[in-house]
A and B are shown apart, each in its own frame.
Chain A
Amino acid sequence: MNRQISRVALFALILLAALIVATTYWQTWASGGLAVRQDNEIQRVAQFEIKRGLIYASDGRTVLAANVRRKKGGQTLYFRTYPTHGFASQVIGYSTQSRSRAGLERQENSYLTASDKNVNTILNTLGDRLRGATITGNNLVLTLNVKAQKIAESLLAGKCGAAVALNPKTGAVLAMASAPTYDPNLIEKPKGYARIQATQAPCSPAAPLLNRATQGLYPPGSTFKTLTAAAALDDGVFTQARISTIPATARSTARRSRTRSIREAAPRHSETSACSMPLCTRSTPSTA
């Protein structure tokens, strides 16, 4: 009888070993594919179990994005709140359940949720995991200057447009405003998103969610002349004093309308005339 028992024992052990093999399959090979499936809510919920890093203005004190803790069904979840209500909204963006993420909340998501590949982050997160503590993301300090941003936003109030102030030495963005703006706290509120969409502004569509400073499409106009002028002066071919008459240089490629030629007006006689080279200033009038 012992031979049969041994055989049945072997069979039973094989059955259980098969379970280990199957578990290995689902937790290693198949794991990545399942995590990204549309109907898998675990990742979507798990992102709210992480205490996202805070977002500060350049002074390191003004909190632009904070967390509120809520207990739901035995687990603690962290949701975003924006204490400054519509300050640099398009830059900071939002992190919500209903409409995912936008702006810096989206761009810096891995940093804010401590899932980036930085060694410090990995060590901190591992420490949190081992201690069983809530995973806490990295804080983000922006270059945005509260004062400059406030001025830019107040100047744009009631208008449609954007304003940006940069530190030319470092490229740091000191202010980036886009109008009309919105309160990111509204997005998770019932009908809040509709209210944002219904924002009244002198342009149509008002599109308050659009960051006009980075996403708005505007013709560059004469601003690009700075570059050509700088290059010309750099070459030494042109001097500040030299006046050149530029003939018609561009032809519209639009087929439906008649071909138009664009004539560049060179400043000739008057100090007040448009200056085609931005580097020349009005205080140095040309040889009239």
Chain B
Amino acid sequence: MLVLVETNDMGSGLLYFGIFLAMLYIATARVSFVAAGLGLFVAGGFVAEREIGHIHERVTIWLQPWTTQKFFCASTGEYTLRQDCQSYQIVKSLYSIANGGWLGTGFGKGTFTDTRGHNLIPYVNTDFIYSALAQELGLIGSSALLLVFMLFVARGMKIAIQVDDGFSKLLAAGLTFAFALQTFIIVGGVLRLIPLTGITLPFVSYGGSSVVANFLVLAGLLLVSHRANSYA
């Protein structure tokens, strides 16, 4: 955890903490542990928001990405509107999503660069892959993707319920919940549902290690599933 705080990797921190709480609840069945964990999370988040500049900025961007007043922009050293500096990424990402509409622009037909060929959305292949996807596939396509993710989660949890031994149950439920939470943290961030933290979207983001890790999750689930079926 300290490593994650030190490297400003709040997304991963949140992810591990969430998985930890879920596993704790499944193993012990005590709601009080979850309540205590959430209480600690709220307290920790509150302190972090006040004390850590990086976190404070993320929360500010989340609450008010658009301003009509100019603020100091550290990266350019000038006073600019917040949407032109700190919240540039999230704002461009929302514009991209909004441009998709119901049906989207079509595969490969989205607009991601300006007329000179510069990228409009930074990290569009990794953290912001969802905003690209939502623009090209529209509401129908992106909802379909999320429904597939929901199906994945439902199947994963079903495996956890079907299998008999405790370790397999914890493994399957934990892997599945990690998958769901990771999706929620990054897509929720991109959609301004929660403050944005950069992590990858499982099976969609570009990047070798993320894909390999997600296939390991899948392999783990399949193993547990195989075991459940062979006992039955």
Residue in A8, A30, A46, A129 whose beta carbon sits within 8 Å of that of B157 in the complex: A8
Residue in B100, B106, B169, B181 whose beta carbon sits within 8 Å of that of A27 in the complex: B100
Q: Which residues on B sit within 8 Å (CB–CB) of A9?
A: 153-154, 157, 160, 173, 176
Q: Which residues on B sit within 8 Å (CB–CB) of A12?
A: 153, 157, 176-177, 180-181
Report yes or no: B115 in contact with A97, Cβ–Cβ below 8 A: yes
Q: Which residues on B sit within 8 Å (CB–CB) of A16?
A: 146, 149-150, 153, 180, 183-184
The reply to whether the CB of A119 lies closer than 8 angstroms to some CB of chain B is no
The reply to whether the CB of B142 lies closer than 8 angstroms to some CB of chain A is yes
Residue in A1, A11, A13, A24 whose beta carbon sits within 8 Å of that of B143 in the complex: A24
- Contacts A1-B166, A34-B95 given: A23-B146 contact, CB under 8 Å? yes
A22 to B169 CA separation, bound complex (whole angstroms): 31
Q: Which residues on B sit within 8 Å (CB–CB) of A75?
A: 111-113
Residue among B83, B97, B100, B116 with the most chain A CB within 10 A? B97
Q: Identify the closest chain A residue to B103 (Cβ).
A: A129
Q: Specify the main secondary structure of chain B where it touches its partner.
A: helix
Q: Which residues on A sit within 8 Å (CB–CB) of B192?
A: 22
Contact with A along B87-106 (1 / 0, CB 8 A): 00001001111111111001
Q: Which residues on B sit within 8 Å (CB–CB) of A123?
A: none
Interface-forming stretch among B3-11, B21-29, B205-213? B21-29
Q: How far is the CB of B99 from chain A (nearest CB, A)?
A: 5
Contact with B along A1-15 (1 / 0, CB 8 A): 111111111011101
Report yes or no: B134 in contact with A8, Cβ–Cβ below 8 A: no
Residues of B within 8 Å of A, CB-based: how many?
A: 62
Report yes or no: B84 in contact with A39, Cβ–Cβ below 8 A: yes
Residue in A2, A22, A35, A132 whose beta carbon sits within 8 Å of that of B98 in the complex: A35
Contact with B along A21-37 (1 / 0, CB 8 A): 01110111011001101
- Contacts A16-B183, A45-B113, A132-B108 given: A8-B91 contact, CB under 8 Å? no
Q: Identify the closest chain A residue to B21 (Cβ).
A: A8
Report yes or no: B115 in contact with A19, Cβ–Cβ below 8 A: no
Q: Which residues on B sit within 8 Å (CB–CB) of A17?
A: 150
The reply to whether the CB of A48 lies closer than 8 angstroms to some CB of chain B is yes
The reply to whether the CB of B161 lies closer than 8 angstroms to some CB of chain A is yes
Q: Identify the closest chain A residue to B162 (Cβ).
A: A2
Q: How far is the CB of A262 from chain B (nearest CB, A)?
A: 54
Report yes or no: B134 in contact with A27, Cβ–Cβ below 8 A: yes
Report yes or no: A23 in contact with B99, Cβ–Cβ below 8 A: no
- Contacts A18-B184, A27-B139, A41-B120 given: A6-B161 contact, CB under 8 Å? yes
Report yes or no: B169 in contact with A5, Cβ–Cβ below 8 A: yes
A101 to B31 CA separation, bound complex (whole angstroms): 63
The reply to whether the CB of A237 lies closer than 8 angstroms to some CB of chain B is no
Q: Which of B154-188 contact A (CB under 8 A)?
A: 154, 157, 160-161, 166, 169, 173, 176-177, 180-181, 183-184, 187-188
Report yes or no: A19 in contact with B116, Cβ–Cβ below 8 A: no
Residue in B81, B108, B111, B191 whose beta carbon sits within 8 Å of that of A42 in the complex: B111
Q: Identify the closest chain A residue to B121 (Cβ).
A: A42
Report yes or no: A73 in contact with B107, Cβ–Cβ below 8 A: no
Q: Which residues on B sit within 8 Å (CB–CB) of A74?
A: 113, 117
Report yes or no: B184 in contact with A23, Cβ–Cβ below 8 A: no
Q: Which residues on A sit within 8 Å (CB–CB) of B153?
A: 9, 12-13, 16
A75 to B177 CA separation, bound complex (whole angstroms): 39
The reply to whether the CB of B195 lies closer than 8 angstroms to some CB of chain A is no
Report yes or no: A13 in contact with B106, Cβ–Cβ below 8 A: no
Q: Which of A129-181 contact B (CB under 8 A)?
A: 129, 132
Q: Identify the closest chain A residue to B116 (Cβ).
A: A72
Q: Which of B114-160 contact A (CB under 8 A)?
A: 114-120, 134, 138-139, 142-143, 146-147, 149-150, 153-154, 157, 160
Q: Which residues on A sit within 8 Å (CB–CB) of B109?
A: 49, 132
Q: How far is the CB of A23 from chain B (nearest CB, A)?
A: 5
Report yes or no: B187 in contact with A5, Cβ–Cβ below 8 A: no
Report yes or no: A26 in contact with B97, Cβ–Cβ below 8 A: yes
**What are the 9 tightest A-B residue pairs by CB atom distance, in nearest-first order?**
A73-B117, A9-B157, A12-B180, A73-B113, A34-B98, A22-B191, A72-B117, A15-B184, A31-B98
Interface residues of A, Cβ cutoff 8 Å to B: 1-9, 11-13, 15-20, 22-24, 26-28, 30-31, 34-35, 37, 39-46, 48-49, 72-75, 77, 97, 129, 132
Interface residues of B, Cβ cutoff 8 Å to A: 22, 25-27, 29, 66, 81, 83-84, 91, 94-103, 106-109, 111-120, 134, 138-139, 142-143, 146-147, 149-150, 153-154, 157, 160-161, 166, 169, 173, 176-177, 180-181, 183-184, 187-188, 191-193
